[in-house]
Structure 1
Amino acid sequence: MKTILYRAAFKKRFRAAPARPIVTFCFDDFPRSAFEAGAPVLESRGARATFYACAGLMASGARPKLATPQMLAEAIARGHEVANHTFTHPNLRDLPSARIVEQLRRNQEALPPGATRHFAYPFGAGDTRVEWIVSRLAPTARSCVPGINAGLASTHWLRANELYACNDPARPLRLIEENRRRKGWLIFFTHGVSAAPGPYDATPDLLAATLDAALTSGAEVLPVDAAWRRIRRGD
């Protein structure tokens, strides 16, 4: 019976066909630099992002480069989205089912008022069992599998693309052009934003250039929840 239910998770699909192409920018783990250097880049162009946060890591002080709980609340007040990334960032494939539920619920309870229930898999790691459990707790879940969500897309395995300074800087531009042609939902993700980036960070210039290209393409730049609502309405 469980096998049948897990397989059914893969059949949770939606039609990604917005009237205008959509581009979303995400910051995983919510480093301080994403808030201090990344958010202003989007705000200066009238755009907002989604920050996937792990409240347990922030509260423990084990990762001092992460944003503070006060920054989470301020991000929401400034129109950004704060969403669920588990409480302590485990690989969910390694956990029993009850612990997966606990990770999502405990984190949701610890996030500030106004946080959404959208989810991103830590390390981009999931399988049929994990996806099925997450589908009971979150309206969408974002993977790290590259590509564009266009046509029939997976609700709890949204495709998303790295925006890292170490990668080919022309690739985001190609994706934006492809998204314009296909009228889909293109999601980028990074972690921190710094002029001296780590391997999982973007530079302010890369973020700005990608955002400008998205806007120039005619796309709407929306956080996950706003994009999801727009697509579900058929706008």
Structure 2
Amino acid sequence: MSWYPSVSARRVCAAVAAAASLTLMLGGCTSYDRHTAEEARNSAKKGAALAPDAVDCARTRCIALTFDAGPSEYTPRLLDTLKKEKVHATFFLLGANHVVKHPDLVRRIADEGHEVANHTWSHKILTDLDADGVREELTRTQEAVEKITSHRPTLMRPPQGRTDDRVSEVSRELGLAQIMWSATAKDYSTNDSALIEKRILDQAEGDGIILLHDIYEGTVPAVPGIIEKLKKRGFTFVTVPELLAPGVAEPGKVYKP
């Protein structure tokens, strides 16, 4: 889930960024080296090629739809919508009380062609933890997802988008790339589906990554309108790995549009 600082906090962040000439992350004062989808595509290994039926996001106006902190009781309706619209999304799953509570939904997400990713075990702020704490938060969800799907995630999203060198190092060790976002509806603060839809439509851009949560009542009803209107604007929906292809997200790196 994302976090937005107060005016005073933003001023502090800006001052730090100016002094250090670092890229400031959307969620706070922690900074990191940012990598884009375009950079990932351009850095693809020599000879790497797209699958015959894959979308070429270097030539197509692509956008990735992502959902954090589920699955929940709202996820089946979301999956029905995505299937109807023939859209694949990336799900950053939360381990405690979500993955372990809804194994059938985790299995369905994977079986229906969506990307299954890691959003930690208990949504602790990783930058507040030591290396062992970060490792535990990520590893427990890795193992839980792998037990259900036989697939170990390669992507993760740090809670509130907070990362640092320690988090990046542990992520690299565990084979996880970090994925941020470019558009958010702040759907944790409202159940107004029309407002959620409008906020996403206002921020949508090519090579963008949309952040939503399939744990809030107002979010899933907003998804059909988001998909319909963005398709009309010429967007093609892809998973995060498809957005980067033929490049591959490198463990430990942070990707942000």
Q: Is the structural similarity TM-score above 0.5?
A: yes
Per the alignment, residue 202 of structure 1 pairs with 219
The alpha-carbon distance between structure 1 residues 214 and 140, as it changes in their structure 2 partners (threshold 3 A), is farther
The answer to whether 1:134 aligns with 2:171 is yes
**Displacement, 1:128?**
3.8
The alpha-carbon distance between structure 1 residues 71 and 170, as it changes in their structure 2 partners (threshold 3 A), is closer
Aligned partner (choices 106, 112, 124) of residue 90 of structure 1: 124
The alpha-carbon distance between structure 1 residues 39 and 15, as it changes in their structure 2 partners (threshold 3 A), is closer
What amino acid does structure 1 have at the position aligned with 2:130? P
CA distance in 1, matches of 2:116, 2:104: 12
**Displacement, 1:224?**
1.6
Q: Cα deviation per residue 1:106-149 (whole Å; 9 max; x = unaligned)? A: 221220223531101123222343234324434531236xx3xx
**Displacement, 1:57?**
3.0
Per the alignment, residue 120 of structure 1 pairs with 157
CA distance in 2, matches of 1:37, 1:187: 21
**Displacement, 1:59?**
6.3
The alpha-carbon distance between structure 1 residues 108 and 193, as it changes in their structure 2 partners (threshold 3 A), is closer
What amino acid does structure 2 have at the position aligned with 1:191? H
What amino acid does structure 2 have at the position aligned with 1:19? R
Give the number of equivalent residue pairs.
194
Per the alignment, residue 233 of structure 2 pairs with 217
Q: Unaligned 5+ residue runs, structure 2?
A: 1-22, 24-30, 39-56, 250-257
The alpha-carbon distance between structure 1 residues 59 and 222, as it changes in their structure 2 partners (threshold 3 A), is closer
The answer to whether 1:192 aligns with 2:206 is no
CA distance in 2, matches of 1:118, 1:163: 22
After superposition, where does 1:76-87 map in structure 2 within 5 Å?
Answer: 76-87=110-121
TM-score (norm 2): 0.64
After superposition, where does 1:157-172 map in structure 2 within 5 Å?
Answer: 160-162=183-185, 164=187, 165-166=191-192, 167=195, 169-172=197-200
Q: Cα deviation per residue 1:84-120 (whole Å; 9 max; x = unaligned)? A: 1112221111210122122212221220223531101
**Displacement, 1:45?**
0.9
TM-score (norm 1): 0.70
Aligned partner (choices 33, 41, 44) of residue 81 of structure 2: 41
The alpha-carbon distance between structure 1 residues 225 and 163, as it changes in their structure 2 partners (threshold 3 A), is farther
Once the two structures are aligned, what percentage of the paired residues are identical?
21
Per the alignment, residue 75 of structure 1 pairs with 109
Per the alignment, residue 151 of structure 1 pairs with none
Alpha-carbon contact 2:93-2:117 (below 8 Å) kept:
yes
**Displacement, 1:212?**
1.1
**Displacement, 1:203?**
4.2
The answer to whether 1:13 aligns with 2:35 is yes
Range 20-29 or range 164-173, more displaced: 164-173
Cα RMSD of the aligned pairs, angstroms, is 2.9
What amino acid does structure 1 have at the position aligned with 2:226? T
CA distance in 2, matches of 1:232, 1:119: 14
